[in-house]
Structure 1
Amino acid sequence: MLTRRQGLAAAGAAMALPRLALAQSRERPFRFVVNVGLQNLDPISSPSFITRNFAYLVFDTLVSMDSRGEYRPQMLQGWETSADGLTWTFRLRPGLAFHDGAPVTAEDVVASLRRWGNRDSIGRRLMAATAELTTSGTDGFVLKLSRPYGGVIDALGKPSVHVPFIMPARIASATPPAQQVREIVGSGPFVFLRDEWLPGDRTFFRRNQHYVPRDEPADGLAGGKVAKVDRVEMITMPDIALRAASLQQGEVDYLEYAPVDNLPRMRGDRNIVISQASGRAEMMYAVSINHDLPPFNNVLMRRALQQCLDRNEILAGTGFGELGRPDCTAMFMCGTTYTSELGSDAIKQPSLDRAKALLREAGYNNERVVLMHPLDSALLNPFGLVLIDRMKRAGFNLDIQGSDWSSIAQRWVQRQPLDRGGWNVVPVVYTGFDMADPLSNLGVGFNCTGNQPWGYCEAEMTPVIERFEAEGDPAKRRELAAQLNRLAIERATFPIAGQFRAPAAWRKELRGVIDFGFPVVWNIERGGN
């Protein structure tokens, strides 16, 4: 039997347990596994999703997209527009500060937007329509347009590559947009721990205790970004099976992409939650073609490759059969604002026989085609295998160069001849956040900009894009988007290869997970099952 003193001690220990569990829960790092290794830390110079994922922890945005696809103020208090729609006045909300302690000012915003506007497809178009971008005091800035532009807020709230993140003017002004910044200083909810970083392996963050979130609840990328864990680890695991096992055993908390082969087992595990994000959060396989180098500077060769892309075979071969939409032939994704089937008859029933006929018509003489195959990507490796098989069967002479995505990404953005590391074809995947807007779509929005690896420039597309970007009426914008859908398919600028839902997965004990299509780390905390 316990003495009175022993009983009081036991009761005190029992009361301390919840407090201890709470402290241990907060101290335990939140560990999430990403698809490929992180090498480039600059979200403006890099077109990679992994860099975007990293940047959302460290940096902040002026405008953010919520779960309904609507744009809301984030770093901004709000904005006003003139009657003619040509002058936009913005003001920063109070309490914004960079991780080095300096306040965020309008000068930082203007410098960041100018750098982004020289790199991003939508940013370039917005800057081309801008007469002046100036500061108004320390917390205000004014955007004066030289001509109508229908998507100012859409541009500032662009959710994916390249996102207009805000960084100090001293960094943004001193670094060309295609060159990596040397210093990572953001104003977001987490601080990057560079001294602990293991490039390509692990990236570490701590909670920014000085961050002032918005008062509204978190909603998509919008609302209050409340960091509820003290430390975060972003991890790369090349072994796909190990990713699934680590999640199921509780060694990691969240997988950016759950291995498709493991989904049935995960669905039967009461400790695992599978993402249900759809619409813009869905993904699209596609093929990045180098339009500058032979043989794909010939549109017939591009159309021949387009005929190799059997969406049923690709989605089945990559394991996304039940999660896929093989019937979707819309450049701007099915289930989104600008979905269109105009011009898609050419790719509804792809045929290897048609591919072979197009190769003959193009005068293809068995020239070498360099295909860079990402071996470490859970999404791109299986797609690459199906693509390789079908291109070989069509008659392409492939030089397959397998490597990790980080190495491929560095070669991909350089324009070199084949004998100096150049390339012809790269299997890629993009989200609806990138593909659903014609001005950021990889097969439309980069037309004649010279600002992307694949280098297409279709004269007939240019005036339609100009009309789309100036138009403010939603119905007329949809009509113009349909024309762009047709042109992109006809010219095979960026052949699409199948839309699918790539679910994330996380431990059920997590609370506040924002199911948005890519990792959103704020608002997450641990609780019970």
Structure 2
Amino acid sequence: MKKLFKNGLFLMLLAALMLVIAACSSDSGGNDDSDSGDNTSSDETDNNDGDDEEAQGEAGGTLRIAIDAAPPTLDQPTSTATAARDASRLIFETLVTTKENFEPEMMLAESIETEDNQTFTINLREGVKFHNGEEMTSEDVIASMERWLEKSSVTGNIFNDATWTADGDYTVILELQSPSSLTLDTMASAKQAAAIMPKEVIDNASDGVITEFIGTGPFKFEEWKQDQYIHYVKYDEYQPVDLPADGLSGKKEALVDEIYIYIVNDSSTRLAGLQTGEYDFAYGIPYDNYDALLADDNLETILTPSANQMMGLNKVQGIATDPKFRQAVNAALDAEQVMFAAFPDEDFFWLDSGYMDMYIEPWLTDAGNEYYNQANPERAKELLDEIGYNNEEFRIMTTRDYDHHYNSGVVIQEQLKQAGINAVLEVYDWPSLLDKRENDLGAWDAFMTSSSTVSTPPQLIGMSTTWAGGMDDSYVEETMAAIEGAPTIEEAKELWDELQLYAWEELVPIVHFGGYHSLYGHTKNVKGITNNTGPIFWNVTVSE
């Protein structure tokens, strides 16, 4: 066996938008929303290694974090929310995780062996204990992985009808129906991560909803005071991997005694708290404050490539189920104006037609680029005439919890009106938007969101058959299955080129606008912060 360690209109819109911004107190677009996160290390941040205690400062104390939206849950596999991802990964770990370059690396698995990319022998690390003191065994892993396949929308077709069996307490056999070279990349995804938890927690979950947050991570869940804070304490029995820290992989240390994640929806409150020292780290720093923070000797900024901005479309119920209507919406929109509305300077965003993040080089493609950023309301009107559009409402959900979603929604509404579409903007707090998106498909036609970095196309939520109501498209399903089963990345890439062209030209499952940077801030008493699909809070110290 081989062992795998593979790792005129614009000015009018802008003026209108400025009036809206002045009238509203909304959250800034630092961290993204349900579906995004950082994908590289920061441009400006501390570069201390967690093992250098002198550089890091003394261990102990409390790390106080101000987050911009409440996580809908801490149950990792069930939510695409960034807040859920970041708040839960202090608690939970996965069999495989990712290095900084997004290559898979072992975490709770000691090794994974395969000869054919169809049968995988997963040897577990022995002696790893959950926060309840019980040792992790194969039965916990099997229950957790089967639940991940049931709950997560990033698993694609790879694991359809897959079987998991135990070979003793510390070995699990994964048997796929068909070979896939993308198996480990998918298992390592930080989005809706394959969290390993005790089997008894899963068995005791009422209606499949986890209420006991027990993992193997460096911090234990202590308390969640709704709409106020989540409290974690250091897990003294944590056993780190004997590898250098690298992205989400390698050695993790809980160098602070406790962490509080405070839910602070208002951006001015987060910023003021950071400046006064009430908070040590803050999500969602307003982009307009970037220069001021750079000039503050007591603060550090983190500006890092983060996610892709997009508008999700309802392909299950309502007017947007018609592909030609979706094509009309896409034809009408000016991506550059939308991104300028969301992010006040071109240094904070980039225009790109690729569904896959520009940093994942093996999957880069400009297929379908001619359908991106059309800004062609006349073409939109032609398509609307073809389907006999009769001024029906097109309901767009957005939120003031994230400025970039609200501001881009305002401009999109106006652009669509110019193309003859009766666009209506409906504003919710972020958790309510997520709930309505998943559970009330008849109440909306589109929503503003973002998508974080994934390592393979089948993990893209915008192409998922289950996310936000999903879609019924045999070509997408068949091509994704072919990508997953392709014997080489080169052959898979050719298939992905064809599928992205189809998405832009015909299907339009989302409207993709481009990518953007997130802006975080922290006090200089915090050392060791790194970023990889979101800020990482282990291997971090804080001094008084």
> Cα offset for 1:358?
2.3
Matched, 1:485 2:493: no
The amino acid that maps onto 2:317 is: L
Report the AA paired with residue 479 of structure 1: E
Deviations, residues 191-236 of structure 1 (Å, cap 9, x unaligned): 1113xx2223311111111111112232110001101001101122
The match for 2:132 is 100
Q: Normalising by structure 2, what TM-score?
A: 0.85
Amino acid in the other structure paired with 1:138: D
Q: Distance in 1 between matches of 2:516 and 2:312?
A: 18
Equivalent position to 1:190, from 206, 213, 219: 219
Cα distance, 1:475 vs. partner? Answer: 1.5
Match of residue 459 from structure 2 = 440
TM-score between the two structures when normalised by the length of structure 1: 0.87
Q: Does residue 523 of structure 2 align to residue 519 of structure 1?
A: no
Q: Distance in 2 between matches of 1:85 and 1:499?
A: 33
Conservation of the 8 A alpha-carbon contact between 1:325 and 1:499:
yes
For 1:152 and 1:91, locate their aligned partners in 2 and report how far apart those are by CA, in whole Å: 16
Q: What's 2:171 paired with?
A: 140
Q: Which has the higher contact order (CA 8 A, sep 6+)?
A: 2
User: Distance in 2 between the 1:477 and 1:256 partners?
Assistant: 37
- Contact 2:219–2:232 (CA under 8 A) maintained in structure 1: yes
1:301 maps to a residue whose letter is: F
Alignment partner, residue 473 of structure 1:
488
- Alpha-carbon spacing, 1:241–1:352, altered in 2? closer, same or farther (3 Å): farther
Alignment deviations for residues 224-252 of structure 1 (CA, whole Å, 9 cap, x no partner): 11010011011222221222222222221
| 1:283 maps to amino acid | A
Q: Tell me how far apart the structure 2 counterparts of residues 304 and 348 of structure 1 sit (CA, whole Å).
A: 12
The answer on whether the counterparts of 1:59 and 1:188 sit within 8 Å (CA) in structure 2 is yes
Contact between 1:276 and 1:515, CA under 8 Å: does it hold in 2? Answer: no
2:326 corresponds, among 302, 324, 338, to 302
- Which residue of 250, 268, 279 corresponds with 1:252? 279
Which residue of structure 1 aligns with residue 83 of structure 2? Answer: 50
Q: How does 1:83-232 map to 2 (within 5 A)?
A: 84-128=116-160, 130=162, 132-160=163-191, 162-173=192-203, 175=205, 179-194=208-223, 197-232=224-259
Instruction: Give the structure 1 partner of residue 448 of structure 2.
Output: 427
Report the alpha carbon displacement of residue 347 of structure 1 after superposing the two structures with TM: 1.6
> What corresponds to 1:316 in structure 2?
340
Q: Residue 352 of structure 2 aligns to a residue in which SS?
A: coil
Instruction: Give, as a single letter, the amino acid of the residue that structure 2 aligns with 1:171.
Output: V
* CA offsets 1:109-166 (integer angstroms, 9 cap, x no match): 1111111112223435232162x31011111101122221121111211122x11011
Count of residues in correspondence between the two structures: 488
Residue 507 (structure 1) aligns with: 523
Structure 1: any 5+ residue segments left out of the alignment? 1-21
**Are the counterparts in 2 of residues 39 and 200 from structure 1 also a CA contact under 8 Å?**
no
- What value does the CA root-mean-square deviation take over the aligned residues? 2.3
C-alpha distance in 2 between matches for 1:300 and 1:481: 23
Task: Give the 3-state SS of the residue equivalent to 1:439 in structure 2.
Answer: helix
Which whole-Å deviations, capped at 9, do the CAs of 1:475-514 have from their partners, x for residues lacking one?
Answer: 1122111112111112101111221111322223322111
Q: Which amino acid aligns with 2:88?
A: A
Structure 1's 504 and 77: CA in aligned 2 closer, same or farther, altered over 3 A? same
1:412 aligns to what SS in structure 2? helix
Q: How big is each residue's C-alpha offset from its partner over 1:338-363, in whole Å with a ceiling of 9 and x where there is no partner?
A: 11111120124322332233222221
Alpha-carbon deviation of 1:50? 1.1
Between the aligned partners of 1:357 and 1:38, the Cα distance in structure 2 is 42
Bigger Rg over Cα? 1
Q: CA deviation at 1:33?
A: 2.0
- Following superposition, the deviation at residue 468 of structure 1 comes to 0.4
Give the unaligned 5+ runs of structure 2: 1-54
Residue number in structure 2 paired with 1:405: 430
Aligned to 1:59, what secondary structure does the other structure show?
coil
Q: Distance in 1 between matches of 2:262 and 2:416?
A: 34
Aligned 8 A contact 2:413 2:424 in 1: no
